[in-house]
Amino acid sequence: MQRYLYLSLMPESLIASMLPPTEFGNYFATGIKKRTQDQAIFFQVDPGFTSTYFPMRDIEERCQPHADGQPKRSVYLSIYRVLEHVPLEALLNLYLVTSTGAVLELSKQPYEEEERKELHLYQELCPVTPRIATSFHPLEFIRFVTQPGYPISVPKLIFVELMLNGLAIDPFLAQPEELPYSDVNHLRDCLIELQMHPEKPTKTVIRHLQQELLYRAIKNGFFVGDQSRFFYYPFPSFEELETRHGMWWQAACAAEEQRIGYIL
């Protein structure tokens, strides 16, 4: 059987498996007997990836079919500093899994920066998980957070941009009714502070991810990078979600409504 490598973001880990991405995502979110429900986000890693940091020799020995012929579903190779030791070029497609096991595949695409000046809201996903309001566009933000020698920095970063709607332009007067956040007033305060004090380009909104990522809150997509490399995985538009990915989108919305108790 073929073996696959996955870099999970929730939690950060490197996993070998005999399951292809969609089957792995379904298993990872719901388990063998479908008695668990946990959202999952992971990258497939280039099967040609080699490393002296990870126990790669364990894959062939430990990732073997079960006695009854069933594929080995997961073998954890590392749960610490994984992203730091996986080259960004080795990251293939990104997979978003609902807590019920529905899987959406995203691929790398060129990123076109918006021309208008606005505020941004980023949910960092790996290796740290604060939610940050900032005046930096995505490429600026990655270079800021990964700059060598900066006291608060990481070697690489994966994050997703979340919706602000009108608050991105006018945090004083814009109405936030359609934003699915429980802390909108605090968020507005953070954005106002950024606008009033441009010398401070970032503001922490939440210190760590307190619940599952709300897929419905994604503005444009996921960003991966360091000081020299930058990759973008666009999230489908609302029209694409309804027409091309309807089953996944319905599953995502239903799971979120059940978990957080409201309908956007």
Tokens representing 156 are 């690489």
> Is residue 80 located within the same domain as residue 165?
no
Sign, Cα dihedral of 187, 209, 19, 107: positive
Domain boundary among 82, 106, 130: 106
- The pLDDT score that the predictor gives to residue 33 is 73
> Is residue 94 located within the same domain as residue 149?
no
As a whole number of angstroms, the distance between CA 161 and CA 163 comes to: 7
> Is residue 205 located within the same domain as residue 92?
no
> Is residue 248 located within the same domain as residue 186?
yes
> Is residue 62 located within the same domain as residue 129?
no
Instruction: Provide the residue range defining the domain that includes 192.
Output: 120-260
- In sequence order, what are the beta bridge partners of 91? 45
- Going by C-alpha positions, the residue among 146, 151, 169 that lies closest to residue 230 is 146
Domain count, the chain: 2
> Is residue 82 located within the same domain as residue 138?
no
Residue 114 located in a structural domain: no
As a whole number of angstroms, the distance between CA 14 and CA 86 comes to: 9
Q: What are φ and ψ of residue 223, in 5° steps?
A: -125, 140
DSSP the chain: ---EEEEEETTEEEEEESS-HHHHHHHHHHTTTT-----EEEEEEPTT---SSS-THHHHHHS---TTSPPP--EEEESSSTGGGS-GGGEEEEEEE-TT--EEEE--------SS---EEEEEEES---EEEESS-HHHHHHHHT-TT-SS--SSEEEEEE--GGGGT-TTT---TT---TTHHHHHHHHHHHHH-TTS-EEEEESS--S---GGGEEEEEEEE-SS-EEEEEPPPHHHHHHTSHHHHHHHHHHHHHHHS---
Residue 25 located in a structural domain: yes
Residue 30 located in a structural domain: yes
User: What is the pLDDT averaged over residues 191-195?
Assistant: 96
Residue 111 located in a structural domain: no
As a whole number of angstroms, the distance between CA 169 and CA 261 comes to: 29
Residue 83 located in a structural domain: yes
Domain boundary among 71, 106, 141: 106
Confidence of residue 190 (pLDDT cuts 50, 70, 90): very high
pLDDT score of 212 more than 50: yes
- Rounded mean pLDDT of the chain? 93
> Is residue 182 located within the same domain as residue 72?
no
Residue 40 located in a structural domain: yes
pLDDT score of 261 more than 70: no
- The pLDDT score that the predictor gives to residue 260 is 60
Q: Give the model confidence (pLDDT) of 124-174 as tens digits.
A: 999 999 999 999 999 999 999 999 988 889 999 999 999 999 999 999 999
> Is residue 147 located within the same domain as residue 66?
no
- In sequence order, what are the beta bridge partners of 233? 222
Domain boundary among 47, 81, 106: 106
Q: Give the model confidence (pLDDT) of 41-70 as tens digits.
A: 999 999 999 999 999 988 988 999 998 989
> Is residue 99 located within the same domain as residue 51?
yes
